[in-house]
Amino acid sequence: MANTYNPYENMLRVLESAARQLGLKPSDYEAIKYPERELKVAIPVRMDSGEIKVFEGYRVQHSSSRGPCKGGIRYHQQVDIDEVKALAAWMTFKCAVVNIPYGGAKGAVKVDPSHLSNAELERVTRRFTAAILPIIGPEKDIPAPDVNTNAEVMGWIMDTYSMIHGYAVPGVVTGKPLEIGGSLGRPEATGRGVSIITQEILKRLNMPEKGVRIAIQGMGNVGGVSAKLLHEMGHKIVAVSDARGGLYHPEGLDIPAALKYMAAHGGSLEGYAGGGAANISNAELLACDCDALIPCALENQITEANANAVQAKLIVEGANGPTTVEADGILTGKGVTIVPDILANAGGVVVSYFEWVQNIQELTWEEDQINETLRKVLINSFSQVLNIVNESKVSFRVAAYMLAISKLVKAKKSRGVFP
């Protein structure tokens, strides 16, 4: 994303810190610092007006040491290659933390989808799929939804790939519609994972299991599901927001009513005035009076410019890379506990893995089985990270990276360097 903070440089700085804690030599982790493959493509599309526009697209494969690459595709007008590289690397670490046999990848198209008709969006998607098709596949690299993409977009990708190959290949993507091989529980998986991890960290911090005042930035798929589930658990969701702004109520918002309003207004909170809530900006949400803050929007939301204003004592990163390295240092110095993205929002990739397994085996799992297995995976991973926190006296972020890097280094050593 075009701003002062380079997310890829942020990732490298955390990687170096964790590697030092592990006592690794630079040669042990040098390969992890670089993506295996970066593909940049031009996407010519005939618009509804008849004119031809060319969009820029990317697919970055960070690591395949532990298995096929895995990662979402986002559509955003400000995306750039460094953002995609960072997201791909975070996917590598995320998969290692939760111990699923994937490496990391990420894709993006530089476009504002709100300015496209549905037919134009489909043509962009299909042409982008054709452009990256040589490097994706169920045994190579499996895309999934991300910012501004959804099950419908995944269906178009799956169909394009299948038509070119001449037979149905459901395992080429995850997060697709149920009717063509999608998995029960997948749309809610990332938000469900955030709620599971939030409950676990509340227990460890001796905070109440109900009634905690929580602010959630971003009410898309991740933030909306997190708000719904945490509200059902008995917590007070005191603030929520979307890209246009947000709402705050010190006694807690009526989350079911807010979600109902959003469903009827194109996913937007704009104009909602339920329960006497005050209108606030995203900046005010990050600094509001709350016990826990869950950023579920884009990268670099909490920076050195606003970190001192954060009042929450706990941050659970629902988004990828929402906290810069400088802000992380400020917050840690203030005694704020931060559960990092590569652990906190890993629920999506875990259930994506379940979907892929179901596709490969031509089976269908029940939703209760999926949700319970997700809970076991996340709690086990959380416990491993917590053990490193306690033994090495490091932050949750460094501990999660230590767990991931140790697995990646062992995998790389086991495979060796070809030729």
Neighbours of 267 (CB within 10 A): 14
| Helix (H), strand (E) counts: the chain | 14, 12
Strands 337-339 and 292-295: unpaired
**How is 72-134 classified by DSSP, letter by letter?**
EEEE-TT--HHHHHHHHHHHHHHHHHTT-S-EEEEEEEE--GGGS-HHHHHHHHHHHHHHHGG
Residue 284 makes CB contacts below 8 A (sequence gap 6+) with 246, 248
Q: Quick one: DSSP state of residue 209?
A: S
Query: Which residue type occupies 290?
Result: C
Catalytic residue among 70, 85, 94, 106: 106
- Please give the Cα distance from 13 to 178 (Å, whole number): 40
State the DSSP string of 212-255.
-EEEEE--SHHHHHHHHHHHHTT-EEEEEEETTEEEE-TT---H
Q: Answer yes or no: 412 catalytic.
A: no
6-218-9 Cα angle (round to 5): 10
Other residues' Cβ atoms within 10 Å of the Cβ of residue 134 = 9
Cα(255)–Cα(237) distance, integer angstroms: 7
Q: State whether residue 279 is helix, strand or coil.
A: strand
- Sheet order of strands, 236-242 included: 278-280, 245-248, 236-242, 213-217, 292-295, 314-316, 337-339
Give the residue among 103, 27, 118 at the shortest CA–CA distance from 67: 103
Give the DSSP H or E segment for 38. strand 37-46
d(CA 369, CA 101): 20
Greatest alpha-carbon span in the chain: 66
d(CA 312, CA 122): 41
Q: How far apart are CA 366 and CA 369, in angstroms?
A: 5
Which active-site residues does the annotation give? 106
